[in-house]
Amino acid sequence: MSNPTYKSPRGMYFEEFQPGQKIITPGRTITEADIVSFAGMSGDYNQMHVDAVYSAATPFEQRVAHGLLVISVVSGLSVQTGVMEGTVLAFREIKDWKFAKPVYIGDTIHAEMEVAETKLLRRIGGGSVTIEIKVLNQHSDVVMKGTWIVLIAAKPE
């Protein structure tokens, strides 16, 4: 009996990822609601994120988005590309992550992802894909960068 809610994966299988391959995500504007919601969810009410008067007196001169909020948004943007939809097995690792510039309310970010390495892991039925990521704002400034390692399913036999 088949499951009527199951859809065939549209994502790429491990064998389809190649070093040098580039993927660009759609963009998304960071809003005040994003910051307030993330503060509530995470419990991180640091004044630089939620207090306009306090943050005006900082070197940023205004509220900034939580770095982990931005990473979470980028994770969602990467899923929206469809390349991992139904084929990702797990998010395994974040390496060498750098927070280069602040992300402000109203900034629109997107990510440029490049496959750096693939490694077959037969025991999991797929492999690891190392992806170098740059997060850019609407001015093409790199606001974050680093490396993600994801586990991707192999093509069914």
* pLDDT at res. 71: 97
Q: Which domains does the chain have, with CATH numbers?
A: 14-30+65-153 (3.10.129.10)
Q: What angle do CA 150, 154, 157 make, to 5 degrees?
A: 170
Give start and end residues of each alpha helix (H) in the chain.
32-42, 47-50, 52-56, 67-80
* pLDDT at res. 1: 44
* pLDDT at res. 10: 82
Contact 59, 107 (CB under 8 A): no
What is the residue-level pLDDT of the chain in tens, covering all 157 positions?
455 555 566 899 999 999 999 999 999 999 999 999 999 999 999 999 999 999 999 999 999 999 999 999 999 999 999 999 999 999 999 999 999 999 999 999 999 999 999 999 999 999 999 999 999 999 999 999 999 999 999 998 8
Alpha-carbon Rg of the chain, whole angstroms? Answer: 18
- Taking the C-alpha atoms of residue 45 and residue 60, their distance in angstroms, rounded to an integer, is 17
